[in-house]
Amino acid sequence: MEKKLQIISNQIRLKILEIVAAKKIGHIGGTFSCVDLLVSMYYGGCLNYSDNNYPDKFILSKGHACLALYIILNDLGLITKEKLDSYGEDGGLGGQLDIGINGVDWNTGSLGHALGVCAGIAHSSKLLNKNYKAITILGDAECDEGSIWEAILHISDYKLTNLIAIVDRNRLSVTEVIQDNAVFKLLPIALPKLGWFYKEIDGHSFPEIISAVQESKISQKPSFIVANTIKGKGVSYMENELKWHHSVPTNEQLEIAYKELR
């Protein structure tokens, strides 16, 4: 299973590189850091996306990593190859997610919204007496948003258990290394005290990701998983380099990347 997921992840990273190189636009670094999380969602059983009546709702809050999701949705048959090929074209798939795309549950582009939205979705599961989950992948930089903290407190107060937030903790924002920010010192202290299931994991280890999500689901608590990741994961010269937030590789760089990922 683990090996199979790793192969899928590498294939997705290769496809991302191909598309970004061809279209000359995209966010490689922050997409590569969350590929393994997304693969765990869609291929590792973390997300129940195919239930006919009440599937889990998934929000990729860091929507600038949309290309990985487009590739997955295409692979799962939810969007066509033509649709995927429209990435970067006028009127085609864009740099953020849109609910007009089959398989996309929420628009993205503005940060700090998804946790509160998930609170509403989780609250609806109480009213409908159903057990679907609201799952979101947040960027680490967006955890500065006040609305994230408003949501954290509200979710505690209302004991909204059908909710899992996973932070892609790649430690790089657009302009800075976010290693020792107060927000990531506060989260591990505050969340357990506020009744959350809190866990830090290696965000590139499939067994750790999948078991953390399974633990979340049986915890009877709202869950916050900090997945430690590497921006640009999988390509040596991209890893932990700020410039790969939205740079496009040259032909020589591409050759090296292809070799490393194959």
Partner 1 sequence: MNISNDENNKDMRDAFFDEIYLSSLNNNNIVVITNDMDIYSLRELKTKRPNQFINVGVAEQNMINIASGLASMGMKVIIYGIAPFVVYRCYEQIKFNICSMNLPVTIVGIGSGLSFAFDGPTHHAIQDISVMNALPEMQILNPSDSDSAKHCSDLVLNSESPFYVRMDKGMHPKIHNSNKYEPFKIIKKFNNNVILSSGTIINNVIDSVKTKDIGIIDIISLKPFPDEIFNIIKDVENVIIIEEHSVTGGLGSIFSDHATILNLKFNIHLIGFENKQILEYGSREWFYNQSGLDVKSLTKRIDRILNAE
Interface with partner 1 by CB under 8 A: which range of 11-19, 115-123, 175-183, 220-228?
A: 115-123
**189 near partner 1, rule: CB under 8 A:** no
Q: Which of 87, 106, 196, 198 binds partner 1 (CB under 8 A)?
A: 106
Both tokens of residue 238? 């991209």
For partner 1, the closer of residues 155 and 201 by Cβ is 155
**123 near partner 1, rule: CB under 8 A:** yes
Q: How far is the CB of 27 from partner 1 (least distance, A)?
A: 20
**151 near partner 1, rule: CB under 8 A:** yes
For partner 1, the closer of residues 71 and 115 by Cβ is 115
**99 near partner 1, rule: CB under 8 A:** yes
Based on its alpha-carbon atoms, the radius of gyration of the chain, rounded to whole angstroms, reads: 18
Applying the rule CB under 8 A, the residues between 31 and 70 that interact with partner 1 are: 57
Judge whether 57 and 49 are in contact, CB under 8 Å: no
The burial class, CB within 10 Å (0-12 / 13-18 / 19+), for 121 is buried
Q: How far is the CB of 101 from partner 1 (least distance, A)?
A: 13
Q: Which of 85, 150, 215, 241 binds partner 1 (CB under 8 A)?
A: 150
Q: How far is the CB of 167 from partner 1 (least distance, A)?
A: 18
Q: How far is the CB of 157 from partner 1 (least distance, A)?
A: 8
Q: Which of 6, 11, 86, 107 binds partner 1 (CB under 8 A)?
A: 107
Q: How far is the CB of 232 from partner 1 (least distance, A)?
A: 29
**113 near partner 1, rule: CB under 8 A:** yes
**119 near partner 1, rule: CB under 8 A:** yes
**126 near partner 1, rule: CB under 8 A:** yes
**83 near partner 1, rule: CB under 8 A:** no
Q: Which of 124, 156, 205, 240 binds partner 1 (CB under 8 A)?
A: 124
| The 3-state secondary structure of the chain, one letter per residue | CHHHHHHHHHHHHHHHHHHHHHHCCCCHHHHHHHHHHHHHHHHCCCCCCCCCCCCCEEEECCHHHHHHHHHHHHHCCCCCHHHHHCCCCCCCCCCCCCCCCCCCCCCCCCCCCHHHHHHHHHHHHHHHCCCCCEEEEEECHHHHCHHHHHHHHHHHHCCCCCEEEEEEECCECCCCECCCCHHHHHHHHHHHHCCCEEEEEECCCHHHHHHHHHHHHHCCCCEEEEEECCCCCCCCCCCCCHHHHCCCCCHHHHHHHHHHHC
The type of residue at 43 is: Y
- Residues forming the site for partner 1 (CB under 8 A): 57, 99, 105-107, 109-110, 113, 115-128, 134, 146-147, 150-151, 153-154, 157-158
